[in-house]
Amino acid sequence: MLNPAQVENAKTRLLLFLWDLDGLTTEVKRGELNKKLVRTREKSKDYQPIFEELQEIEAIAMTKKGRSEKVSLTEKGLQVLKGGLKSPSFIFKGNQVGTKVPNALLKWIRNIDESTPTIAPTPAIEPPLSPRLESYEGFQEMLLEVYHRLNKDYNLGHLVPIYQLRREIGEKVTRSHFNNWLVEMQAEDIVQLMAGEMPDMTPDKREDSLTLPSGAFRYYVKHLNP
């Protein structure tokens, strides 16, 4: 049985290992996660309350089919992980730490370095911002125009990444309007929002994709009956 201090430490380790196993982009078998998580003299059942608590706060999502149980990391879970790694209470105890946690932390640090954008000097005069679209109809027209242009220019096979659409449209639409109106277009069978796998996934690409109200992630748009 884990004591309170061990529980907080274990939450961070669980989220870190899940991230290390690409839990942000794929569902990870719980047994595979347990191989990294459960330490000597511990049992997998010791971690059941932690899985339940993280699922309750929507830091992780879990699916079960028969005896197979899979876990994935949510955007909220990523924020919880960041907070846990910054916490002074997340420390290593004992003479032997092993390699699992340090290697996962090294991967985390490298990923942060690779995804940190270069900050360009601020120009002396800022160009005026384009007026924002305030209507669903205007957004729909613009999104389809950008969709077809990107699909043609990059030969995307009618699967256009959501992050590219968002970045092309830019400040013309607020993030909340972009998300809500894109979901509305799917509800009207204008487009289909798809998950799939995305090569070279980075945290900023994932952030600029789409999280559905259910917590599921969508990375691509397909125009239906173009």
CATH number at residue 96: 1.10.10.10
Mean pLDDT, range 181-195, rounded to an integer: 93
Query: Is residue 67 located within the same domain as residue 102?
Result: yes
Expressed as residue numbers, the domain containing 22 is 4-115
Q: Is 8 inside a domain boundary?
A: yes
Residue 110 shares a structural domain with residue 9: yes
Residue 67 within any structural domain of the chain: yes
Beta bridge partners of 69: 64
| Dist. CA 20–CA 33, nearest whole Å | 10
**Domain co-membership, 96 together with 178:** no
Res 25: pLDDT: 87
Predicted local confidence at residue 99, as pLDDT: 56
If asked whether residues 93 and 154 sit together in one domain, one would say: no
56 has a pLDDT exceeding 80 = yes
Domain count, the chain: 2
Residue 35 lies in a domain: yes
Distance between CA atoms of residues 213 and 79, nearest Å: 17
Confidence of residue 95 (pLDDT cuts 50, 70, 90): very low
Residue pLDDT, tens place only, 146-159 = 999 999 998 999 99
For residues 30 and 88, membership in a common domain is answered with yes
**Contact status, residue 67 vs residue 77, Cβ threshold 8 Å:** no
| Residues 105 and 197 reside in one and the same domain | no
Q: How far apart are CA 179 and CA 208, in angstroms?
A: 10
Q: Does residue 173 have a pLDDT over 80?
A: yes
pTM value > 0.85: no
Instruction: Provide the pLDDT for residue 118.
Output: 47
Among 69, 85, 115, residue at a domain's last position: 115
Residue 184 lies in a domain: yes
Q: Are residues 21 and 99 in the same domain?
A: yes
Task: Name which of 103, 111, 37 is nearest 71 in CA terms.
Answer: 37
Spell out the SS3 assignment of 180-199: HHHHHHHHCCCEEEECCCCC
**Domain finish residue from 115, 149, 166:** 115
5-14, 148-157, 200-209, range with the lowest pLDDT: 5-14
Same domain flag for 54 and 12: yes
Q: Summarize pLDDT for 98-131 with one digit per residue, the tens.
A: 556 666 776 777 666 555 444 455 555 544 445 6
pLDDT of residue 112: 60
For the chain, percent of residues with pLDDT exceeding 70? 81
Q: What is the mean pLDDT of residues 175-197?
A: 92
Do 99 and 19 belong to one domain? yes
